[in-house]
Amino acid sequence: MKKIIFIVFITVFVFPCFSQERTQADIDLKVKTFFQKHGGWYDMNVPASDGQLLYNLILDNKYQQALEIGTSTGHSGIWMAWALSKTGGILITIEIDKSRHEEALANFKEAGVDHIIDARLDNAHELVPKLKGPFDFVFSDADKGWYQNYFEAVDPKLKVGGCYATHNVSDRGGNRWNQDYLHYLQGLDHYETSVDNSGGGMAISYKKAEK
């Protein structure tokens, strides 16, 4: 009888834990292998330093409900999904170009994170306002002239304590990108915005309160 109870305990409680550990280890290995194979990504994707920044923001704050506006071919999405695999989260990502969307789908699968990503082929101008949310992390890297429109559409759906990161925003001398948008962010009382210039330039806005 004791032997039967022991076998049941091992089967029900111990094996699932080992399985879960192996699953995360498999994801880690697949993502690392993918990045080693696909070293330099320049085709409208973030540099590796910005991918690492996105990964850290999600993991450090334990975010779980992420939105990406502008998938491209999936570099940033893989970094974010990798972090979300450790927080128990999911990523919705939007791309308007069919060929990029399809390439991203293949990359997500190869990197072993496709089960964490809800990749949508759609016009973000139309889809973003329709998304219900809520979100606790948003990464915006689509058409720069629409940055403020995206922000205003998502703001009511972003949780207090959440983060809205925007790519290609910089305040460094000689490379002051998207300054009007940055000034808009810095003027919002219910957000605290800083700029990370280590890669392609990233505005990082934390929501302090509801508007």
Q: Residue 55 sits in a domain of what CATH number? A: 3.40.50.150
The residues pairing with 117 across neighbouring beta strands, listed in sequence order, are 91
Is residue 152 domain-resident? yes
User: When comparing pLDDT for 42 and 134, which is higher?
Assistant: 134
Q: What is the pLDDT of residues 51-104, one digit of tens each?
A: 999 999 999 999 999 999 999 999 999 999 999 999 999 999 999 999 999 999
Closest to 90 (Cα-Cα) out of 57, 128, 114, 117: 117
Show the tokens assigned to 126.
Answer: 């139309």
Q: Which domain holds residue 153?
A: 48-207
Is residue 10 domain-resident? no
Banded model confidence at residue 128, pLDDT cuts 50, 70, 90: very high
Full 3-state SS string of the chain: CHHHHHHHHHHHHHHHHHHHHHHHHHHHHHHHHHHHHCCCCCCCCCCHHHHHHHHHHHHHHCCCEEEEECCCCCHHHHHHHHHHHHHCCEEEEEECCHHHHHHHHHHHHHHCCHHHEEEEECCHHHHHHHCCCCEEEEEECCCHHHHHHHHHHHHHHEEEEEEEEEECCCCECCECCCHHHHHHHHCCCCEEEEEECCCCCEEEEEECCCC
Banded model confidence at residue 15, pLDDT cuts 50, 70, 90: very low
pLDDT, position 46: 81
pLDDT of residue 149 exceeding 90, the answer is: yes
CB 104, CB 76: distance < 8 Å: no
pLDDT, position 66: 98
The residues pairing with 90 across neighbouring beta strands, listed in sequence order, are 65
Is residue 54 domain-resident? yes
pLDDT, position 54: 98
Tell me the pTM: 0.87
Q: Look at the chain and report how many structural domains it folds into.
A: 1
128-132, 169-173, 196-200: range with lowest mean pLDDT? 169-173
Distance between CA atoms of residues 28 and 43, nearest Å: 24
13-17, 21-25, 169-173: range with lowest mean pLDDT? 13-17
pLDDT, position 191: 98
pLDDT, position 176: 66
pLDDT of residue 8 exceeding 60, the answer is: no
pLDDT, position 6: 41
CB 77, CB 109: distance < 8 Å: no
Is residue 33 domain-resident? no
Is residue 43 domain-resident? no
How large is the average pLDDT for residues 163-170?
95
Residue that has been written with the tokens 């973003």 in this structure? 128
